């Protein structure tokens, strides 16, 4: 791949698609000569979304511990209709309306102004980095049964740093490599569960799937586990500028990814809860490998552990791609210093990758459940602003062309957002005081950080892009819709 030669100014351009639909590409030129780099096609994009959302059933075990088999199975069937599908639909519409890097930051900035766009970017980036800190933890949780030294202490710290460095380098080498690696890693991660399902057929007892004890349900852990495993569909929007023909590719990729993610959760849970006697206390991180040992022997457990390792590799590099390209998009719109917009010779945002990797190392000392709760809390705030932006843009600019548009009117757009918003309120209400306090401090930091960055720009201590004006995006809409 060739090195990008120059940074062109963000602009609004009227583009004709092959289906003769006209739409305004906002800031399409904000990336550096994108045509010189190979863009993501449909199949790699599906697996990138798969890894940004899921990566396989690793981490869903807590749902059985919290609520038992029946509620765990029902949760991964019903929850996608409440949360995943609405979020995926909104992501598809907004990403084709704004096919550029930065994603939801651009949506919120266009609807609510750059200040709130920055807050959206800060909360979602921090949430993403917290999310990424989970994957070294999950990786080591699956390996600690085979290598007890990795359970705690200095060896665990070294393992986290080495793993983070290796995966960060893979991300640095290029988004196309990450996409195709995600395909290989995804196939390898899911194959052992398909095999485990075939081997387990004689052992299945359907009555085990129906076990439920409503008096003994940890609703906080249950909802946090479901929410964490089925969110982040909007993450792919932050690198929409790197996608080949995003108006067609993104909606299709999101659809296939939803199907793949639901299957990757439900099928292993069905096998695991039906093939072994229930002991809810054992259902915690890494328990699928022990189930594999019972069903198929030590070799199948080793295969599951290996699948977990590569799955966490895929989730790490996919999430870091989203986080780093989000920072790049924010820098291109003048929200962050200009050095965040600089790309490596592989076309990757070097500063964004380094900042995201540093955050992962700093946060990896937290426990799995603390990470999930804190990440969910911040993510909820960001999603509320996305829903507001989605509805406001529907009401404010209903005639603005959208290559993909959810086939509902303004009332339908509002109704789509109601169930996930109610769920967000429940998740926020169930958070512990510790998580609430930490998350609110993080939010307040964002409130202070944005004026500080503007002061730094005013004093010219750091260079910022001054070519992007979100007020001009509304002008582009009106010009496009003018008779």
Residue 464, classed as helix, strand or coil, is strand
pTM, two decimals, is 0.83
pLDDT score, position 316: 87
**pLDDT tens string 264-275:** 999 999 999 999
**pLDDT tens string 428-471:** 887 778 888 888 888 999 999 999 999 999 998 999 887 555 54
Which of 141, 87, 36 has the alpha carbon at shortest distance from 372? 141
**pLDDT tens string 410-424:** 999 999 999 999 988
How much is the average pLDDT of 108-137?
88
How much is the average pLDDT of 24-46?
61
pLDDT score, position 371: 64
How much is the average pLDDT of 153-163?
81
**Which segment of 239-248, 311-320, 474-483 scores lowest on mean pLDDT?**
474-483
Confidence of residue 4 (pLDDT cuts 50, 70, 90): very low
pLDDT score, position 1: 33
DSSP string, 311-358: HHHHHHHHHHHHHHHHHHHHHHTTSSBGGGG-B-TTS-BHHHHHHHHH
Q: What is the mean pLDDT of the chain?
A: 83
**pLDDT tens string 259-314:** 999 999 999 999 999 999 999 999 987 899 899 999 999 999 989 888 887 888 88
Which of 259, 288, 354, 200 has the alpha carbon at shortest distance from 54? 259
Give yes or no for residue 340 having a pLDDT over 80: yes
How far is it, in rounded angstroms, from Cα 359 to Cα 341?
19
pLDDT score, position 310: 82
**Which segment of 221-235, 240-254, 460-474 scores lowest on mean pLDDT?**
460-474
pLDDT score, position 24: 37
How far is it, in rounded angstroms, from Cα 195 to Cα 365?
34
**Which segment of 128-142, 182-196, 233-247, 434-448 scores lowest on mean pLDDT?**
128-142
The most confident of the ranges 147-156, 170-179, 291-300 is 291-300
Confidence of residue 35 (pLDDT cuts 50, 70, 90): low
pLDDT score, position 16: 30
Give yes or no for residue 476 having a pLDDT over 50: no
How far is it, in rounded angstroms, from Cα 109 to Cα 469?
10
How much is the average pLDDT of 366-373?
63
The residues near 147 (Cβ < 8 Å, ≥ 6 apart) are none
pLDDT score, position 474: 42
Return the higher-pLDDT residue of 151 and 203. 203
Q: What percent of the chain shows pLDDT beyond 70?
A: 85
pLDDT score, position 130: 81
Other Cβ atoms less than 10 A from the Cβ of 81: the count is 11
How much is the average pLDDT of 151-175?
82
pLDDT score, position 405: 93
How much is the average pLDDT of 75-95?
94
CA distances from 422 to 63, 65, 341 (A): 20, 24, 37
pLDDT score, position 131: 78
Give yes or no for residue 162 having a pLDDT over 80: yes
Give yes or no for residue 25 having a pLDDT over 50: no
First to last CA, the chain: 43
pLDDT score, position 369: 63
**pLDDT tens string 376-409:** 788 888 999 999 999 999 999 888 888 999 999 8
pLDDT score, position 455: 93
Give yes or no for residue 100 having a pLDDT over 60: yes
How much is the average pLDDT of 241-256?
91
Q: How many residues can be counted in the chain?
A: 483
């Amino acid at each position: 791949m060739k090195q990008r030669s120059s940074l062109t100014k963000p602009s609004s351009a009227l583009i004709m698609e092959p289906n003769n639909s006209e739409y305004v590409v906002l800031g399409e030129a904000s990336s550096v000569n994108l045509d010189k780099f190979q863009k993501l096609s449909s199949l790699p994009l599906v697996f990138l979304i798969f890894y940004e959302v899921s990566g396989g059933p690793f981490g869903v075990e807590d749902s059985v511990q919290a609520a038992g088999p029946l509620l765990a199975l029902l949760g991964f069937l019903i929850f996608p209709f409440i949360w995943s599908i609405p979020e995926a639909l909104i992501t598809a519409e907004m990403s084709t309306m704004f096919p550029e890097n930065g994603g939801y930051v651009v949506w919120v900035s266009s609807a609510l102004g750059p200040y709130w766009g920055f807050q959206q970017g800060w909360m979602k980036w921090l949430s993403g980095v917290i999310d990424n800190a989970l994957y070294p933890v999950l990786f080591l949780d699956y390996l600690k049964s085979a290598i007890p030294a990795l359970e705690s202490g200095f060896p665990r710290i070294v393992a986290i740093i080495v793993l983070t460095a290796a995966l960060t380098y893979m991300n640095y080498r290029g988004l196309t490599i990450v996409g195709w690696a995600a395909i290989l890693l995804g196939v390898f991660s899911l194959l052992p569960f398909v095999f485990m399902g075939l081997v387990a057929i004689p052992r299945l007892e359907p009555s085990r799937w129906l076990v439920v004890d409503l008096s003994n349900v940890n609703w906080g852990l249950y909802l946090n586990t479901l929410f964490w495993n089925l969110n982040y569909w909007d993450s792919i929007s932050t690198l929409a500028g790197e996608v080949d023909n995003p108006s067609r590719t993104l909606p299709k990729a999101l659809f296939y990814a939803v199907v793949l993610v639901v299957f990757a959760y439900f099928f292993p849970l069905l096998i695991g809860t039906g093939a072994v006697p229930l002991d809810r206390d054992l259902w915690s991180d890494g328990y699928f490998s022990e189930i594999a040992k019972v069903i198929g022997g030590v070799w199948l457990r080793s295969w599951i552990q290996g699948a977990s390792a590569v799955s966490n590799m895929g989730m790490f590099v996919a999430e870091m791609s989203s986080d780093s390209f989000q920072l790049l998009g924010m820098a291109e719109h003048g929200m962050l210093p200009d050095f965040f917009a600089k790309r490596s010779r592989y076309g990757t945002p070097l500063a964004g990758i380094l900042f995201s990797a540093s955050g992962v190392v700093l946060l990896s000392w937290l426990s799995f459940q603390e990470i999930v709760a804190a990440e969910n809390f911040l993510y909820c705030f960001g999603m509320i602003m996305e829903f507001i932006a989605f509805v406001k843009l529907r009401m404010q600019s209903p005639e603005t062309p959208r290559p993909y548009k959810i086939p509902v009117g303004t009332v339908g757009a509002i109704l789509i957002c109601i169930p996930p918003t109610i769920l967000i309120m429940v998740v926020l209400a169930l958070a512990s005081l510790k998580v609430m306090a930490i998350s609110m401090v993080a939010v307040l930091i964002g409130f202070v950080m944005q004026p500080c960055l503007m002061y730094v720009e005013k004093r010219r201590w750091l260079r910022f892009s001054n070519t992007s004006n979100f007020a001009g995006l509304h002008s582009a809409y009106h010009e496009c819709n003018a008779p």
